[in-house]
Amino acid sequence: MEGLLYQPEWRIIDQSSLGSGFQAIQSFGYDDTLCASVGAGKAPATARTWVHHNTIVLGIQDTKLPFLQNGIHFLNEQGYQVIVRNSGGLAVVLDEGVLNISLIFPEVERGIDINRGYDAMWQLIQEMFADFPQTIAAREIVGSYCPGSYDLSINGKKFAGISQRRLRRGVAVQIYLCVSGSGAKRAELVREFYQQAKLNEETKFSYPDVNPDVMASVTELYGCNFSNADITLRLLTQLQRFAAGNLYHGPLNVFELELLPGYVQRIVERNEPFAAMQKTAAP
């Protein structure tokens, strides 16, 4: 488990304060670009932090909801834009109080077992909050949105979820971390989306019955007024230790800048059918 976090060096790309003009479609294109670059040995292991304003990211299964357009219109009316990501999972909420972290690793000769990737992120989050006594568990939280076996929780309340994306011998382990704000309010939004998009129709896939009582932010759980900058500092502190001090901030290199437009375009094309369903989001 430790081996993945211990890299010869860590490059940091901090996109957590780019503002509302930075779109989630761009973000998923960045991670695919970084997977291709790190996997090809053109860049070192990279940690990227990112924040998007009022965005609901749907999974592929969500696009099969029988009344999807109703659900999307509901979210638009609440001031949220909707995109569909290119990795697994179900609907999640991104806003100014949600910090996303992507860790991009190169695949080694024998590859990286999927659970090893999840365990590395879990370990990192535990180290980041090691000065608090609460235990961070990794198990499915029934009633949460986008439930999975690596939901991170404290006393049964989920504050983060982990996913993975594998591309061209690169592995992106991604986490959304609810830093501030109300976890329950985010869950209420997703619960209503599913009600609007499913109505009473029977579906082959079992969508989550979201319970707002099982979702929270780290600010709520720890009783501290955390900001995204606070959590980013904790991240950098730990990665510096894992890289034996060889940690640096670096932009995309020339190889990555050439790849990025193509990967972003793929996400744009994937989202074209769903973009047509959307109303203009409220301010």
> What are the beta bridge partners of residue 167?
170
Cβ contact 178:216 at 8 Å: yes
| Cα gap 181→178, rounded to integer Å | 8
Up-side HSE of residue 279: CA atoms within 13 Å toward CB? 15
| Cα gap 18→223, rounded to integer Å | 27
Q: Which two tokens stand for residue 204?
A: 């082959």
Up-side HSE of residue 250: CA atoms within 13 Å toward CB? 17
- 238: Cβ contacts below 8 Å, ≥ 6 apart: 124, 127, 128
Residue 146 known to be catalytic: yes
| Cα gap 259→252, rounded to integer Å | 10
> Strands of 81-84's sheet, edge to edge?
81-84, 55-58, 92-94
Per the rule left: phi > 0, alpha: psi between -120 and 50, beta: everything else, 89 is left
**Annotated catalytic residue: which of 35, 146, 178, 224?**
146
Q: Which two tokens stand for residue 200?
A: 């009473």
> Strands of 152-154's sheet, edge to edge?
137-138, 152-154, 157-167, 170-178, 98-106, 46-50, 10-15, 247-249
Q: Which residues are catalytic?
A: 146
